[in-house]
Structure 1
Amino acid sequence: MASHPRLSYSVPQRLLHWLMALLIFFNLIFSDGMEHWNRLMRRGETVAPDDVASANIHAYVGIAILVLCLIRFTLRLVQGAPAAPAEEPPLLKLAAKLAHRTFYALFLLMPVTGIAKYYFGNETLGFLHGGPLKLLLWVLIVVHVLAALIHQFYWKTDVLARMTRGV
């Protein structure tokens, strides 16, 4: 039986991509509850049940992201991914590969460092979580969106369709 190259991501891969994107944006944008809890703990002030509940939402969403990442990574290993479009210059193909690997690393590192801070009090990993890793994630998201738009409107490739409606 002949092997056919993948033209788009599978439906489960696309659903996981967009579900993770929503959860990641939620945690990036609505991190006030966790930040407030962290300030109270750092100052040794009283933490109210509402403070813990707000921080827990952030933590549980982060744990969900970690679990979804593991499922998504497994699907990618089993089902593969479409090849980069021929129109994409070789250097940018390499950059895209590195960016995707960095995304997967962050999808693992962000929850693990957050867990280390929230549940185990590791200040160093908590700093990494809320500082450099968070900044790197924001930068990658912006570059990822810009790259998708360049593919759509400049190179006129099907990259965006592969992750939305499928090709």
Structure 2
Amino acid sequence: MAAPNPSSFSAPQRVLHWLTAALVFFNLLFPDGMNAWNRSMKRTGAATADQVASANIHAYVGMAILLLVVLRLLLRSVQGVPVAPPEEPPAFTRAAKIAAGALYLLLIAIPLTGIAAYYFGYEVAGDFHAEALKIVLWVVLAAHVLGALAHQFYWKTNVLRRMTVG
């Protein structure tokens, strides 16, 4: 059974979107606790209680992001998503779908690589997590925001509205 194409995102979809966004930006902008823990572990093989607590906050936020993304994907499969507005050129519609897929993939891969590094000691996963995936996430997020702004101010569609107030 195919998911419906509603005119707007549902209230739970919107709440999950903005909560996920807030947590993603929190972890992107404030990774200091995890960085301090990681430096200490590499230097001395031990970390202070404060460093562990700060690293745990980063890890727990990452796990919350993973949970929220799984919930978002479940809701998306059940409730569907609005179709692209007719004002959007087909090439941008395809690009938006690719970017959305990349964003979901990143929001699953980044917490999983973080878990692999922090809880299971896979240093390569941690390097990939903190270096390559983080950079790609910033690029995809920038494209996502620019796309929303293009809809709002260039094509003058309701795309931003349907993810804010419905």
Q: TM-score, normalised by structure 2?
A: 0.96
One-letter code of the match for 1:80?
A: G
Match of 2:98, SS? Answer: helix
Alignment match, 2:107 = 107
Q: Aligned partner of 1:164: which letter? A: T
**Counterpart residue identity of residue 95, structure 2:** A
| 8 A Cα contact 2:37 2:51, kept in partner | yes
Q: Which runs of 5+ in 2 are unaligned?
A: none
1:21 lines up with 2:21 in the alignment: yes
Partner SS state of residue 131, structure 1: helix
**Which amino acid is the alignment partner of residue 164 of structure 2?**
T
1:125-140 matches, cutoff 5 A = 125-140=125-140
Aligned length: 164
Q: Indicate yes or no: 2:123 matched with 1:123.
A: yes
Cα distance in 1 between the residues matched to 2:80 and 2:128? 31
Q: Is the 8 A contact 2:65 2:111 kept in 1?
A: yes
Task: Report percent identity of matched pairs.
Answer: 57
Question: What is the CA–CA distance in structure 2 between the aligned matches of 1:100 and 1:26, rounded to whole Å?
Answer: 20
Report SS of the residue matched to 1:24.
Answer: helix
Structure 1 runs of 4+ with >6 Å offset: none
Q: Which amino acid aligns with 1:77?
A: S
TM-score by length of 1: 0.95
**Contact 2:41–2:47 (8 Å) recurs in 1:** yes
Residue 60 to residue 5, structure 1, CA distance change in 2 (3 Å): closer
For 1:81 and 1:46, the matched residues in 2 are separated by: 47
* TM-aligned CA deviation for residue 46 of structure 1: 3.5
Counterpart of 1:79, as a letter, is Q
In 2 relative to 1, CA 112–69 (structure 1 residues): closer, same or farther, beyond 3 Å?
A: same
Aligned CA RMSD, in angstroms, stands at 1.3
Unaligned runs of 5+ in 1: none
